[in-house]
Structure formats: structure tokens, C-alpha cells
Structure 1
Amino acid sequence: MEENSHDTGSHPARRGDGYDTVGSIETNVADGFTMVAVGDLIVARPLMSGRHPGFGDVVEVLRNADATFGNMETLLFDIRSFKGSPQAEYGGAYHISLPEVGPDLKAMGFNIMGRANNHTLDWGLEGMRETGRILDESGIIHAGAGESLAEAGAARFLETARGRVALVSFTTSFTPMSRACDPAGEAPGRPGLYALRLAQSVVIPPAMLENLRQVRDILPGDNPGHRDPNRVALAGVTFKAGAKAGWSYEPDAGDLADILRNVRRGKQFSDFCIVTNHCHEPGNWSQEPADYEQSFARKMIDVGADAYVGHGPHQLRGIEIYKGRPILYSLGNFFYDDLRTPVGADMFALYGKDPRTVTDAEVTVDEETKGYPTADGFVGALASPIFYESVIAVSRFEQNRLAELRLYPIELGFAKRFANRGIPRLITGPQAKAILERLQNLSEPFGTQIAIENDVGVIRLKPGSSL
């Protein structure tokens, strides 16, 4: 393999002892290499044989690429023979899809998928494993879930005519018991997903922090010897002072080191490495990435990633070009065909519904329109046109650099009846312009300029340019 070559010719990375390192982070694909990336795939049924106006044009875009990526945010199994059960912890809804969705996605053109997200273990390990089996049988490469932390975090590889593609998939948004771990001594490893843990802090004005400090100090049980003068921990929440109120996140150092290693290893054994992060933070309401994510994404590029693809908040976030490589902070929804059935009893109870009189669809619509119940009401509602608008991102590489990124606006049928919505079609005209202009505004803080040409967004890089 190339990684073991002792050729001492020109090479961008050197150990200094006459041998090539295996750690080159350079892109190494044939001219014309194309990656298609989309966001969340929430699709309950096969679509290729159905009547879905405009979907054929979408499929043509998906098929015309070397690597076609999406985030697999559902589980594939037949409920009639399924041996598992809906879990007490689940990602906000019980996502379930027919087994036929696997080969159907392959027929559309998908050949590489991320698996790590807040729905990976909605139906337990049985659902996770059955989904992996069906994707394997369908010929779709997938990463982000496995029988141990090492397996879940390992890069998986797609062979293409223009180069070998690696994928590392992880999530910051997950249920606590879904995180994989490795063996330790006699204790076996734990199956699950590849997680990046984030320490969350609430940022508030300094005067308010002082008020909270006073409240903390009069409460019993605190240990004054372990107090941080810049933070206040109260009722399980950490507060810190800042000029702008909001949420702040710090990646777990161990998780970060492990991800960096897996990305580096993925690139060492491939020509092109995709890193994908499922991140809802700070919330589905936010069009801006969480405050940790820009520096984090850049670290991924620095150690060898050729593309960073984000998803999770179900709506678009901005695009950055860093060192000639695309950082897509969120590509929103690609499918939102949310005909989930059956729904676990816990979800009926969460919304105060009786499964003997209320249908699965009525609970699903309630969840989408009201959001998730909390002590103060409902949050996270997704029944808005903005969650049914997105883009297909097509990155083309020439001379091992990103030459052009094309953004095809899509709409998922928000106005259609429940049984027909959530399936993308390419759009033109005022709605396409509005989507692309929104993406222009979201990308402007990153210094990214998006032209709009014939209802398609275009980012072009000059030869030798990283912007």
C-alpha cells in the first residue's frame, strides 16, 4: 500500500529520516472527483417506484457523483419479525423504516452514510444491528455505530473510480445510554454510537452570575474548596459570565483526541476523508452553529479531513471554505417522510395521548407542531416551511483542490398532506432564490461568497486559493 512506501521523492510530510510518513493530509483523488452531500434521511418507505413529481430530477443529481453521502436518521427493520423493543430513552421520536428502504436508497445513488445520531438506539441494539445488516446487504458503506467504541469510531471505506473515500461519523446529540465504550480489564465493551460529549454552560451577564453565586452560597451541601471564580454550578447547570447571553460548549478532551486519531487514521488509508457530525446544539431553533464547532471543524481539516458535513438541527446553517475544503455546518433535511409507525407507548404518554383512541400519525403531527413537552410548555417544534427547505451540495475537485461547490435548492412538500410530504424536489423561482439568499446570509460570517446562477448557488475557488 502507498502508506508503507519507502519512496523518498517529493512529499508534503516528512519524518526527517529518509522515509515518508503515513500522515499526509493532502487530498489524493483523480480530477473530476465529486461528492454529493445531503442532510438528514428520515424516510419510512421505498420511494423509487412511487409517484413523486420532481423526485426523478433529484435522483439524477445523487447518481452523478463518486461519493453520495447522507445522514441515516432512522432504523431499518420489519416490525413483524423484530425481536427488540422501543427504548425508554429515545431521540424525541421513534424512527422506523421498512427494510426495503435500504436497497431503495442504494438505487437512488447513496453509497456512504453516517449512522451516529440521537435516533441510533431508538429501538435498542436490535434496531441498530438490523439497520447495519440491511445497509451492508444493500451495498452502502456506513460508520458511526458498532459493537464497541473502537468499532463505532473507526473509519469505513468506499472504493470509487477516482479514489478511496473514508468516513468518520459521530454525534454530539445522543441519549446517555447509547454511547459505545471499549473493554476495560474483565469488563466487556458496550455496543452503541460514536459520541462527542460536550460540557454545556449557560452564558449570562456578570451581574446575574453574581446573583446566582449568592443563591448557591446560601444553599447547603456545597464544597467551597472546589469553586471556580469564573463559573457557578447550581442545580446541575453551569453558568458563566459573558457579553452575550446564550449557550457555550466545550468538547470532552478524551473524545476529541479519539476523533482526531480516527480522522487521521481514516485519511492515512484513503484518498479522501469525510467527517460528519450530528449536532443539534444549541437547538433546532438556531441557524448558527454552536460556539465550539468552527474551531472543532477546522481541527478536523487540519488532521486530514477533506470535507466536514454537519446535520442535526433540521435546517440550514452556513458554509465555510477552510484550506480549500468545504465545511457544511448543517444541510437540514433531505427526507422528512415521517410516516413512522408503530410508535412506542412512551411517546403516546409523553403527549398525553391514549393509543387506544389516537393514531400514530396524530401523535407524530402533535410532536412536530408543538415540539417536545417540558415543565414550561413545548419546545422544538418542526412544523414550519424552513424545516422543509434545504440544498443538495455538490463538491467537485480538480488538481486535488475544491474547484466548485454547487448548491441545488430543494423543497420537501410542506403544503402537502401528511402521507405525501417530506420528499424532495428541485425548485426554481422565488422560493429557490429565498433559500439561496438565506444561505448567503448564513455563510457571510465565514467569509464565504455564494453566487446565484440559474437558481443554483455556486461557490468557485480560484486555482491555488483556499477561499
Structure 2
Amino acid sequence: MREKGSHSIQHDSGYDIVGSIETNVADGFKLIAVGDLLVTRALTKGQHQGFSDVLKILQDGDVAFGNLETSIFDIRSFTGSPQAEYGGDYLISLPELGPDLTAMGFNMLSRANNHTLDWGIEGMRETSRVLDQNGIIHAGAGENLSQAGAARFLETARGRVALLSFATTFTPLSRAADPAGEAPGRPGLNTLRLVPSIVVPPEMLESLRRIREVLPGYKSAGEDPNRVVLAKTTYKKGDKAGYSYEPDPRDADDILRNVRRGKQFADFCLVTNHGHEPGNWCQEPPDYEQAFAHRLIDAGADAYIVHGPHQLRGIEIYKGRPIFYSVGNFTFDNLQTPVGADMFAAYGKDPRVHTDAEVTVDEMVVGFQTAPGFTDPIFYDSVITVSRFEQNQLAELRLYPIELGHSKRFANRGIPRLASTQQARAILERLQKLSEPFETQIAIESDIGVIRLRPG
């Protein structure tokens, strides 16, 4: 009889590879996962109230995961430059962040996100060097697409863990590519390209069609009655207005194959995505994501974690595996320096008059693909997720509410501590509502969210 949590796939030769992507961790395996790490300095050396309590939780697991949304290097010896195409701001961290991340407890980090190439290939490579030097497993960026998309592995006392990282939100020129003929591969990140469209009611679609018909260059041959393309934007007919996304089938197949391949060489497989869609203002995942999350778990993923929206979204349990549609921020210490000339210009600032911090504050107010910027307290509330597995299935999920000091002065905010009772309840009650569409029940016990399951 196959063990609980096992899968099988049919090989092309007809051979049934039983258990090739089964989960095989020892009972009590713990995955601790948080969201975005926007951090520019070593935090364990400072005196940050309540931070030590957060670290105790972070350090009590087999895997401690987060999304590294910054580059790590010493600007004084750096040979690269800030790129003209960047992820909204230029995130940079001091080299001492490497050992500090290890001291916090992190041993696995995702790298595929919209800030991976803020400082070019040189910044990406230097960040990889620092993480490797400190023994932190990272995935999602590499010298070509095959390297960026490959699983990376961590040996733990309860099993070998694979990590795969991809991004749906990224700067176009940061996408990695494999060699083709004589053309070499391109360094960058692992991506899942999405084809966006806007859904509108039928009467609106008809109005858009009439506008298109009077524009120069219109040709009506073979048009789809349920779709209009206007000014390079696709509009589709639907019941109500909204955004829709279709994953690129080639990218999706590559990611699913890499998940299967990674799980075949590991006991547990963690898959993560950095995506803002449909925007950082939205508390619901994009329409494509639930179906794709299920495909990832069917391919062998034991947990799927989304980060990027900078706020919490709902939680789903699918086949005894957790799906986090956004885990929000873990640190929001946005004291990046220096700021590139392009960012000064983007916010109407002059580097001869204004400071880097003044540009950053403007960015926080205006925001990047957000409304109303990053000043809303919702971006400073989050959770630490602790998933415990028994019999190779999720047995209990604990959610520790944290707050990042929204009310503190600019230089001191963004560092997590456990939320007060009142704030913890507000965070967890919001997460309860966000998880209702996925039929997930979250109990609140002593300021902690709890999801209990019985391995089937």
C-alpha cells in the first residue's frame, strides 16, 4: 500500500513510477514561512523591541523561508550600476545582511522577483555569492533559465527539501533564457508570463468594439465576438468588470516539470511565486492562481507560497497541503541607499537638493502599482506561518500575527514584533474572512491562528 501523501506518474515507457513524487519527511517536520524581506541592514545586532520573540518562532523549524527582495553588496567596491529598468525602487543591502539572515534562522530564500536585477547581473551575482558564502539555499535566479528554474536542495534532520522559485511580476529584461543555437543563454530570473485582459459586461464590450471600428487600421476578418483588442489591451466579455490572466503554457509546463523533477530528488518540495497581480491594492488572488496552485501540488509541491502584494491574502488547504495566496511582509525596512538617478527623476526630485530618504518617502506615499501607496497600515500587518506535518500531510498550521511598526518614525519602522492582543485579533479576523472562499476555518487561540487537520 502506498504511504499517505504519495503520488505517482506514468512514464512515457508505460512504467508507473510509484512514489517518485511522494512526501517522505519524518513526523514533526516544520516549515516556517514568511513573506517579503525588504531589509537593508543587520537586524540581530540592534535593539529592536520584541524582535527576539519573533526570532524564537523563526528558529524553531526545519525550514525557515522568506523572499529576499533586495540585492546584497558593498557599494564602495561594486562594479555594476543601477539599471534603467528597475522594480519600482533600488533595493540594496549591506554585505553583513548575509550572516545576519543566517543568525535570524533563514536557510531557504526565493530570489525571483521584480527587484532581482535592479542592479544588473552584477548585483544578482554578488547577492548569490553572499548567500552561498553563508550557507543559505536560494532559487529563482541563475546564469540561464535552466539554472534559474531548477530546484535547490536543503538537507534537514527530517528530510531533504527542494525549493523552486518563480515570478509573475518582473521587469521584462530580467527574464532568464536558455541557449538557442549559437546564441548563448541569458542570466536572470525564472518567470511565469501572464497574458492579461480586462473583463467587462457585454454592453461595455460593444462600446469598445464601436470605438475600435472607427480607428485607423481596423480589420474585421475572423474577429472573436467575445473579445476586443484596443490599444494593445484585450477586453473580454464577462458578468462583471475585473482583471483576468492566462499563464503562458510553455512557462507553466517548464515550472511543473521542474517541480516534478525537484520532488523526485527530495522528500519535501516548496514552491513559491512573487506576484503582484492584479495589484498590491487587492486582497484576492488573480483568477488563474487557484487552478495553477492545484496543478503545482498535483505535480509534487508540498506547499505553495505567494509573496509580492505586501499584504495578506487567503489560505487554502488542498490535498493536505497549504496554499498561501500571500503572506505579506516580514520586514519592511526600506532604508535603501543610494537611490539611482532614474528614481530621483521618477518622483520629481533633484539629487543636488533632495536626499535619498526624501525620494523613498515619496515612493512610499505614491506607491508602486498600489493605491494609496505603502502608507496604509495594512502593509505593516502580517503573520509568521508554521506548518507542521505528520504522516506526510499537514497536521497543524499556526499563524503568529506580527506588526511592523507603522506608527514609528521612518528610520525605525519595518521591523517585526508580535502583535498586541487587539491587533492580533484584527489581523486574524481579516485572514479568516479572506480564507472563507477557500473553505478554510481558522480558530483564534491565545492571539494565534490555528488550522488543525487530521491526516487522511
Task: Please state whether the residue corresponding to 2:72 is helix, strand or coil.
Answer: coil
In structure 2, the CA distance between the partners of 1:372 and 1:310, relative to structure 1 (3 Å rule), is closer
- Match for 2:54 among 58, 77, 89? 58
Task: Assess if the C-alpha contact under 8 Å between 1:32 and 1:397 holds in 2.
Answer: yes
Task: Assess if the C-alpha contact under 8 Å between 1:372 and 1:380 holds in 2.
Answer: no
The answer to whether the aligner puts 1:397 opposite 2:371 as a matched pair is no
- 1:217 to partner: Cα distance: 1.3
Task: Assess if the C-alpha contact under 8 Å between 1:153 and 1:262 holds in 2.
Answer: yes
In structure 2, the CA distance between the partners of 1:9 and 1:228, relative to structure 1 (3 Å rule), is closer
- Match for 1:434 among 413, 426, 429? 426
The answer to whether the aligner puts 1:187 opposite 2:179 as a matched pair is no
Instruction: Provide, for residues 106-152 of structure 1, a one-character-per-residue CA deviation record: whole Å limited to 9, x for no partner.
Output: 11100001000000000000000000010000110000000100000
- 1:372 to partner: Cα distance: 4.2
- 1:9 to partner: Cα distance: 8.8
Instruction: Provide, for residues 426-461 of structure 1, a one-character-per-residue CA deviation record: whole Å limited to 9, x for no partner.
Output: 123110000000000000110000000000000000
Map 1:398-413 onto structure 2 (within 5 A): 398-413=390-405
Partners of 1:393 and 1:135 in 2: how far apart?
A: 23
Map 1:166-181 onto structure 2 (within 5 A): 166-181=162-177
The answer to whether the aligner puts 1:251 opposite 2:243 as a matched pair is no
Instruction: Provide, for residues 234-284 of structure 1, a one-character-per-residue CA deviation record: whole Å limited to 9, x for no partner.
Output: 111100111121100000010000000000001001000000000100000
Partners of 2:349 and 2:46 in 1: how far apart?
A: 32
Judge which range, 23-32 or 414-423, deviates more.
23-32
- Match for 2:375 among 363, 383, 386? 383
- 1:379 to partner: Cα distance: 4.7
The answer to whether the aligner puts 1:311 opposite 2:301 as a matched pair is no
In structure 2, the CA distance between the partners of 1:19 and 1:78, relative to structure 1 (3 Å rule), is same
- 1:27 to partner: Cα distance: 1.2
Task: Assess if the C-alpha contact under 8 Å between 1:209 and 1:239 holds in 2.
Answer: yes
Partners of 1:456 and 1:171 in 2: how far apart?
A: 30
Instruction: Provide, for residues 23-54 of structure 1, a one-character-per-residue CA deviation record: whole Å limited to 9, x for no partner.
Output: 63321100000000000000000011111010
- 1:56 to partner: Cα distance: 0.5
Partners of 1:142 and 1:372 in 2: how far apart?
A: 26
- Match for 1:106 among 95, 98, 102? 102
Percent of aligned positions that are identical: 71
Query: How many aligned positions are there?
Result: 453
Partners of 2:136 and 2:7 in 1: how far apart?
A: 33
The answer to whether the aligner puts 1:420 opposite 2:412 as a matched pair is yes
Instruction: Provide, for residues 363-405 of structure 1, a one-character-per-residue CA deviation record: whole Å limited to 9, x for no partner.
Output: 11111112249xxxx8550111110000000000011110000
Task: Please state whether the residue corresponding to 1:225 is helix, strand or coil.
Answer: coil
Partners of 2:356 and 2:70 in 1: how far apart?
A: 16
Partners of 1:211 and 1:9 in 2: how far apart?
A: 57
In structure 2, the CA distance between the partners of 1:14 and 1:103, relative to structure 1 (3 Å rule), is closer
Judge which range, 412-421 or 215-224, deviates more.
215-224
Partners of 2:55 and 2:283 in 1: how far apart?
A: 27
Task: Please state whether the residue corresponding to 2:313 is helix, strand or coil.
Answer: coil
Task: Assess if the C-alpha contact under 8 Å between 2:400 and 2:449 holds in 1.
Answer: yes
> Which position in structure 1 is the counterpart of 2:292?
296
Partners of 2:321 and 2:446 in 1: how far apart?
A: 24
> Which position in structure 2 is the counterpart of 1:155?
151
In structure 2, the CA distance between the partners of 1:88 and 1:431, relative to structure 1 (3 Å rule), is same
> Which position in structure 2 is the counterpart of 1:13?
8
Partners of 1:9 and 1:271 in 2: how far apart?
A: 15
> Which position in structure 2 is the counterpart of 1:4?
none
Partners of 1:262 and 1:300 in 2: how far apart?
A: 10
- The letter for the 2-side match of 1:449 is Q
- The letter for the 2-side match of 1:273 is C
> Which position in structure 2 is the counterpart of 1:271?
267
Partners of 1:277 and 1:15 in 2: how far apart?
A: 27
In structure 2, the CA distance between the partners of 1:426 and 1:275, relative to structure 1 (3 Å rule), is same
Task: Please state whether the residue corresponding to 1:157 is helix, strand or coil.
Answer: strand
Partners of 1:448 and 1:203 in 2: how far apart?
A: 28
> Which position in structure 1 is the counterpart of 2:323?
327
RMSD, matched Cα: 1.7
Partners of 2:254 and 2:14 in 1: how far apart?
A: 29
Partners of 1:428 and 1:401 in 2: how far apart?
A: 31
- The letter for the 2-side match of 1:89 is E
> Which position in structure 1 is the counterpart of 2:83?
87
- The letter for the 2-side match of 1:337 is D
> Which position in structure 2 is the counterpart of 1:3?
none
The answer to whether the aligner puts 1:26 opposite 2:22 as a matched pair is yes
- Match for 2:333 among 337, 344, 348? 337
- Match for 2:231 among 232, 235, 256? 235
Task: Assess if the C-alpha contact under 8 Å between 1:24 and 1:304 holds in 2.
Answer: no
- Match for 1:347 among 343, 349, 354? 343
The answer to whether the aligner puts 1:36 opposite 2:32 as a matched pair is yes
Structure 1 residues without counterparts, runs of 5 or longer: 1-7
Partners of 2:211 and 2:429 in 1: how far apart?
A: 46
Partners of 1:461 and 1:427 in 2: how far apart?
A: 25
- Match for 2:446 among 427, 451, 454? 454
In structure 2, the CA distance between the partners of 1:420 and 1:382, relative to structure 1 (3 Å rule), is same
Instruction: Provide, for residues 155-202 of structure 1, a one-character-per-residue CA deviation record: whole Å limited to 9, x for no partner.
Output: 000000000000110000000100001111001111100010000001
Task: Please state whether the residue corresponding to 1:408 is helix, strand or coil.
Answer: strand
- The letter for the 2-side match of 1:232 is V
> Which position in structure 2 is the counterpart of 1:218?
214
Task: Assess if the C-alpha contact under 8 Å between 2:85 and 2:118 holds in 1.
Answer: yes
Task: Please state whether the residue corresponding to 1:60 is helix, strand or coil.
Answer: helix
Task: Assess if the C-alpha contact under 8 Å between 1:22 and 1:268 holds in 2.
Answer: no
- 1:18 to partner: Cα distance: 10
Partners of 1:346 and 1:235 in 2: how far apart?
A: 27
Task: Assess if the C-alpha contact under 8 Å between 1:112 and 1:141 holds in 2.
Answer: yes
- 1:227 to partner: Cα distance: 2.4
Structure 2 residues without counterparts, runs of 5 or longer: none
> Which position in structure 1 is the counterpart of 2:437?
445
Task: Assess if the C-alpha contact under 8 Å between 1:284 and 1:380 holds in 2.
Answer: no
